[in-house]
Amino acid sequence: MTKSRKDFRKKFIGNHRLSPETQMMGYGYDPVLSEGSLKPPVFMTSTFVFERAQDGKEFFELAYGKREAEKGEKPGLIYSRINNPDLEVLEDRLALWEDADKGLSFSSGMAAISTCLWAYLRPGDVIVYSAPIYGGTEFLIRNILPEFGIKAVEFEAGGNKPTLAPAIAEAKKLGRVSVIYTETPANPTNSLVDLHACRDAADALKTETGHRPIIMTDNTFLGPVWQKPMEHGADIVIYSLTKYVAGHSDVVAGAAVGSADVMGPVAGFRTILGTMCDPHTGWLIMRSLETLKLRMTAASENAKKIATYLDEHPKVENVQYLGFLKEEDPCYEIFQEQCNGSAGATFAFDVKGDEAAAFRVLDALQIIKLAVSLGGTESLMEHPFAMTHADVPDDVKVRLGITESMLRISVGVENADDLIADLAQALDAI
């Protein structure tokens, strides 16, 4: 007797809950449905054949929300802009890391971010967002959303003074607060956002105004292995899958996960905007999910050694590595509460000097690659002020601690001693 597909969605063996790294090897995929192939094939097809006209009608009714699914009913395959087997398996597995109901994949991290925001923001609404954030997200919020009548109020991540409450108070004067958007750790400073405080603020707004804003969190730097924001108050968790999840610097993709009801509007917008991931990219990311924890563990161990070396180097100052947080730092308690014991593998540091000094270090690198992005198997370095955050106003960058002497490093899985040797000779260029 052949097994049914439900056998491949197991989360428990008896009372033992399976870990995500184990479930990445087969969850949501039945080899019987694909000629016994151990791995899912790449379903490179634009459309899918219906057995009966009635099937097509019922599939579309579910896809476009014309009726509720009956108990046990699953949406049928229609068209790869709506659903595809590779993406369905990928999204099932992505959701497992956060213990979420629903995952969605996108053509890029920015596609995930923008689609989530379009799903929940309307003209006249206000978004409250943490700073600093990735430069592309900053540009979208600061420059594009206002063209559609959406206002934005910033609050600073980390820091010694509370900024969320004043930002919420200001936002309420401007319109309906519909989204609290956070990036924690922040790119590139590693500043942290207290998600419990965001949750409390959202709940208070619900009580006061009758409308609860959606809390969205970009979890690219630490997740999904070292941080699980849904456990701490986030409604939607967003990833640039390009980074650690895919992890080989060979694809561009994004994702968002959350509860079924919260992700419903996002899924609808994705279908109409056409921002979904393609099947081949989805297949490559599934391959990468199998080694995600191994890669992130190796990279974080390397990063600890390299951060320690840089912290002791006479030409380096202000190493913004989460493992160096002191108890008196307001981010220390957040790190202990929200993060799963690892400081990750991406951090920033300042060299002693100016932009020219920072550029001399970058130009002297021999093993570490001078490139933007992060989270790949290889180590990368870049200059946030002039590169990834170039479109952020200079005065905002300076206020948030993004200086012309700052470099951001994404530590890979090479031999740590080799990377330190490369950094040593590059710093000699100052």
372 with 361: CB under 8 angstroms? no
Q: What is the mean pLDDT of residues 310-317?
A: 97
DSSP states along 78-145: -BTTT--HHHHHHHHHHHHHHT-SEEEEESSHHHHHHHHHHHH--TTEEEEEEES--HHHHHIIIIIG
- Which residues on adjacent β-strands are paired with residue 230? none
Around 332, how many Cα atoms within 13 Å sit in the side-chain half-sphere? 8
> Mean pLDDT over all residues of the chain?
95
281 with 250: CB under 8 angstroms? no
Do strands 406-410 and 346-351 pair parallel, antiparallel, or not at all (unpaired)?
A: antiparallel
Domains along the chain? 85-289 (3.40.640.10), 292-427 (3.90.1150.10)
Which pLDDT belongs to residue 10? Answer: 87
217 with 234: CB under 8 angstroms? yes
Which pLDDT belongs to residue 222? Answer: 97
Residue holding tokens 């600073």? 156
pLDDT tens, position by position, 200-250? 999 999 999 999 999 999 999 999 999 999 999 999 999 999 999 999 999
Helix (H, G, I), strand (E, B) or coil at 328: coil
The vertex-114 CA angle with 133 and 121, nearest 5°, equals: 100
> What are the backbone angles phi and psi of residue 21, rounded to the nearest 5°?
-65, -25
Q: Does pTM surpass 0.85?
A: yes
Which pLDDT belongs to residue 328? Answer: 92
Alpha carbons 271 and 78: distance in angstroms, whole number: 12
Q: Which residues contact 57 (CB under 8 A, 6 or more apart)?
A: none
CB-based burial of residue 336 (10 Å sphere; 0-12 exposed, 13-18 middle, 19+ buried)?
A: exposed
How many beta carbons lie within 10 A of that of residue 198, not counting itself?
A: 28
Task: Retrieve residue 349's tokens.
Answer: 């540091």
Percent of the chain with pLDDT over 70: 98
Which pLDDT belongs to residue 3? Answer: 41
Residue 1: pLDDT band with limits 50, 70, 90:
very low
Helix (H, G, I), strand (E, B) or coil at 49: coil
pLDDT surpasses 90 at 337: yes
Q: What is the mean pLDDT of residues 100-112?
A: 98
pLDDT tens, position by position, 15-64? 999 999 999 999 999 999 898 999 999 999 999 999 999 999 999 998 88
Residue 73: pLDDT band with limits 50, 70, 90:
confident
Give the DSSP H/E element, type plus range, for residue 355: helix 355-364
Residue 7: pLDDT band with limits 50, 70, 90:
low
371 with 382: CB under 8 angstroms? yes
Residue 4: pLDDT band with limits 50, 70, 90:
very low
Amino acid at 50: F
pLDDT tens, position by position, 380-400? 999 999 999 999 999 999 999
